[in-house]
Amino acid sequence: MVNRQWLCASYVPPDEFPTQKHFELVEAPMPSPQEGEVLLRTLLLGTSPAQRMYVTKESEFHIKVAPGEVMSGRGVAEVIESCHPQYQVGDIMEGTLGWQEYVAMSPDPQVKDGSHVTPVKRVENPVRPLTTVLGLFGQRAFSAYVGMVEIGDTQPGDQVLVSSAAGGVGAIACQLARARGASRVVGIAGGEEKCRWLVDQGLCDAAIDYRQEKLEAQIGEALPDGLNVYLDNVGGDTLDAALQHLAVGARVAICGHISTEYLRPRPPGPTHYYNLLYRRSRMEGFFVFDYLSRWGEFEAQLRQWYADGLLKLTDHVLEGIERTPDALTSLFTGANVGNCVVRVAPDPESVPAL
């Protein structure tokens, strides 16, 4: 048996995004678990825009992957052999597996960069489809939750705007806004197809195609009374357009700024930031990992809202480890809709269905 792995083949220049050519699929020997380790079989690999920074040499991100190393990434795996007393074969684990079919590692917290990190941890009460671990009940959903609930403080009757609304975080954020009682949810996405998807899936009341002219005017038409909450994933012109439509007391939650993150020199900031003054509004950034201690609480609320019919799955599954770079690429080309994951092996039948 071999262990197929995707290595970083070369750094990605800052003005490019990662594609197949930056990675190499190799066959490595099967790993053997040492004492205290578990042998994991990768079932799913997730995708995150942050992974682009891992392989961008110039990035200041704390995770870096050099050419020749296994690409880093989070995923879901099954324990197939255990040399650790607290873990059994069949346990479902989640964490930083890397882009590979098998990995042997210790699930015990380790000290890295001065902090305790758990590279992989057991999923309590996992359900099929296991995409929920990466999507609806996972980090992506927790990002949406922090943005919409903790920072955005969405209240009943609020009018909400979400950028990258068809993306992994955005598609959940739109639903969370509704679950919190928002009276109107407007999504921004790239292209007519994604906009139609947002409305057809019932995620948004209206969708705005930022590739069309006059984004700012479109926001004004979609939200004539202004917005109370804006979840910003993109920065740049989109953020500036949104800032022109703040209602008094609005909350802008900054989750990312993908449209400008890789531009050098840094472009100017949003001209209309001064509306934070005139509309007495707030703009605040967040990292979901700052809320690690509250993920259990967030998951319980998300499961309750799912049970109440307020949330739905928006998974977009690519089949086979061969597709992993394509999945990452799709986050930057605008091809992706929803929670983009790669299925490396089927969900075990032993996991109960949702």
Strand, coil or helix: 5 = strand
Considering only 13, 121, 274, 333, the residue that binds a second copy (CB under 8 A) is 274
Q: Is 62 in the site for a second copy (CB under 8 A)?
A: no
Considering only 240, 299, 315, 347, the residue that binds a second copy (CB under 8 A) is 240
Q: Is 281 in the site for a second copy (CB under 8 A)?
A: yes
Q: Is 277 in the site for a second copy (CB under 8 A)?
A: yes
Rounded CA-CA distance 292/229 in Å is 23
Stretch that binds a second copy, among 25-33, 87-95, 195-203, 273-281 (CB under 8 A): 273-281
Rounded CA-CA distance 78/89 in Å is 7
Q: Is 346 in the site for a second copy (CB under 8 A)?
A: no
Considering only 10, 96, 183, 260, the residue that binds a second copy (CB under 8 A) is 260
Q: Which of 245, 218, 37 is closest to 160 using CA atoms?
A: 245
Q: How big is the site for a second copy, counted in residues (CB under 8 A)? A: 31
Q: Is 150 in the site for a second copy (CB under 8 A)?
A: no
Neighbours of 294 (CB within 10 A): 14
Rounded CA-CA distance 84/78 in Å is 14
- Tell me the CA distances in angstroms from 308 to 301, 303, 304, one per residue in order: 10, 9, 6
Considering only 187, 235, 325, 338, the residue that binds a second copy (CB under 8 A) is 235
Q: Which is nearer to a second copy, 4 or 294 (CB)?
A: 294
Q: Which is nearer to a second copy, 56 or 175 (CB)?
A: 56
- Tell me the CA distances in angstroms from 220 to 99, 171, 238, 276, one per residue in order: 43, 21, 13, 17
The least CB distance from residue 260 to a second copy, in Å, is 7
Instruction: State the maximum Cα–Cα separation within the chain, in Å, rounded to a whole number.
Output: 65
Rounded CA-CA distance 18/328 in Å is 7
Write out the binding residues for a second copy, residues 283-322 only, by CB under 8 A: 283-287, 290
Q: Which residues bind a second copy (CB under 8 A)?
A: 235, 240, 254-257, 260-261, 266-287, 290
